[in-house]
Structure 1
Amino acid sequence: MDPNTLHFLEDLAKNNEKEWFHENRGRYEEARANFIDFSSEVLEQLKTIQDDLLNTEVKKCILRINRDIRFTKDKRPYKNYFGAGFGPGGSSSGRSDFYLQIEPGGKSFLGGGMWSPSPENMAKWRQEIDYNPDALKSIIYAYEFKNYFKEIAGQQLKTKPKGYEIDHPEIELLKYKELFFYRYYSDKEVCSENFSDEIFKACKLMKPYQDYVNELFFDS
């Protein structure tokens, strides 16, 4: 990615107001175009491993930079980052998709997994772990996966979930209310020539887990 994209986002973080944004709209349009071009590269690579993305247009994957400030005390009008969700039809597929965020200061990341599941899906999740824990564990505890995505993310219950005993052998997995993974990248990595290849590598590693979640929640 172009370093100027990160420079724009750095300046936006310091001047997050409409007047400054309008005065710098030309810089924004250039930065946004650079992010869209990069996201298009990623999407084309993903289409080689995920057939349900074949008809997805990159413009449908790009998130708006405007913040929804209706229900928050934080009235800054703009996000300090660019974001894209790569799912069937775009960022609003409702499935577990690949999410890319570009933000200066080493805050850029690729993430995905089980996020804010419905009570029905949470019940499916725990039932599957109870009946067949090895299917999940063989994915998230695989050496290459664990070496790249260093830790499991997501909130856990403080005690056992209803219907399961505290001495259940998979109690720690059963406690999760959501379970996702992400990998952060330095600004130097983001601006490197092979960054799209790095993101594709991350997506390929994460895909078995994404497939596990989507098959459990939406295809069963």
Structure 2
Amino acid sequence: MHTRDLIQFLSELGENNNRAWFVMNKPRYDILRAEFLELVSGMIPQIVKFDPEVAGCNPKKALFRINRDMRFSKDKSPYKTTFSAAITASGLKKPSQGGGPAYYFHVDAQGVLLVAGGEYMPPSDRLRAIRQHVIADAAGFSKVLKNRKLRETYGDLQDEGKLSRPPKGFDPDVPHIEYIKHKSFIVWKESSLKKSIPADLGKEIVSGFKDAYPLVHWLRQAK
């Protein structure tokens, strides 16, 4: 896809985040959206090679809408300044819909490529199931944390929004209590596409997903 054109479009959208500008530039958006869909469509068969469970993921449904949900937000900008997609075994993108662990990526207006794997801010019942799975399969969780590829690519799990105390009902002395305090079980990495655009962007993203697979696979066992 024309990555530089996408970054330029998103940058301009950030400066002109209103319906009039978007309507005037809709032809540009439509072309870039079609290219992004083609990128995701080509990635799914590559992901299936190491994670067959995503074979049924519909690429059209994997893409997020550019329109923002402004109902509960003070920011009334109508459009997101990212192109993003989430590839899941369930075919559902959002944690609130029961999407489960996902492979996620986006390109933003600053030209930053974010590649991630896991579950970001799952709903309370799902989060409790994951925390209980950490206790029930402490050895398996340790193995994920020590996975060489995952650590080389991502480091540790992101601790954004981590609780200061153990959640209610969890003994502070159980193994991995610091991870049980997490509200998300996800890894991610960022790189600048302004500095360097990979010759094969899809291949680069899929490589990151492959390194996140041990976490995604482990999370699927949490019921």
Q: 1:190 to 1:24 in 2, by over 3 A?
A: farther
Pair 61,166 (structure 1): closer, same or farther in 2 beyond 3 Å: closer
1:123 to 118, 123, 128: 128
Partner of 1:141: 146
Matched, 1:114 2:116: no
Q: Structure 1's 119 and 7: CA in aligned 2 closer, same or farther, altered over 3 A?
A: closer
Contact residue 166 and residue 177 of structure 2 kept, 8 A: yes
Q: Determine the C-alpha separation between the residues in 1 that align with 2:36 and 2:195.
A: 15
Matched residue of 2:84: which SS? Answer: strand
TM-score (norm 2): 0.86
**The 10-residue stretch of structure 1 (89-98 or 4-13) with the greater mean CA deviation from structure 2:** 89-98
1:119-198 correspondence to structure 2 within 5 Å:
119-153=124-158, 154-188=160-194, 191-198=197-204
Residue 189 of structure 1, CA deviation: 6.8
Structure 2: which 5+ runs fail to align? none
Partner residue of 2:106 out of 68, 76, 101? 101
Q: Describe the superposition over 1:76-102 as per-residue Cα deviations: whole angstroms up to 9, x where unpaired.
A: 111101111112335356121111111
- State the superposition RMSD in angstroms: 2.2
CA distance in 2, matches of 1:20, 1:132: 52
Deviations 1:71-127 (A, max 9, x none): 212111111011111123353561211111111324321112133334443333333
Identify if the C-alpha distance between structure 1 residues 74 and 190 changes in structure 2 by more than 3 Å, giving closer, same or farther. farther
User: Is the Cα–Cα contact under 8 Å of residues 110 and 182 in structure 1 kept in the other structure?
Assistant: yes
| Amino acid aligned to 1:124 | A
CA 189–91 in structure 1, closer or farther in 2 if over 3 Å, else same:
farther
Inter-CA distance 122–60: structure 2 relative to 1 (3 Å threshold): closer
TM-fit CA distance, 1:17: 0.8
Helix, strand or coil at the partner of 1:34: helix
Q: Is structure 2 residue 93 aligned with structure 1 residue 91?
A: yes
Q: What is aligned with 1:68?
A: 69
Distance change (3 Å), C-alpha of 1:53 and 1:125: closer
Counterpart of 2:58?
A: 57
1:215 paired residue among 200, 213, 221: 221
What count of residue pairs does the alignment treat as equivalent? 217
- Asked whether the equivalents of residues 57 and 90 of structure 1 are also in contact (C-alpha less than 8 Å), the reply is no
1:57 to 1:159, Cα distance in 2 relative to 1, 3 A: closer
- Would you identify which runs of 4 or more consecutive aligned residues in structure 1 move more than 4 Å? none
Give, as a single letter, the amino acid of the residue that structure 2 aligns with 1:36.
L
8 Å CA contact retained: 2:14, 2:109: no
Q: How much identity, in percent, do the aligned residues show?
A: 27
Unpaired runs of 5+ in structure 1?
A: none
Give 1:6-45 correspondences, 5 Å limit. Answer: 6-45=7-46
Q: Give TM-score, length-normalised by structure 1.
A: 0.88
Is 1:156–1:175's contact at 8 Å kept on the other side of the alignment?
yes
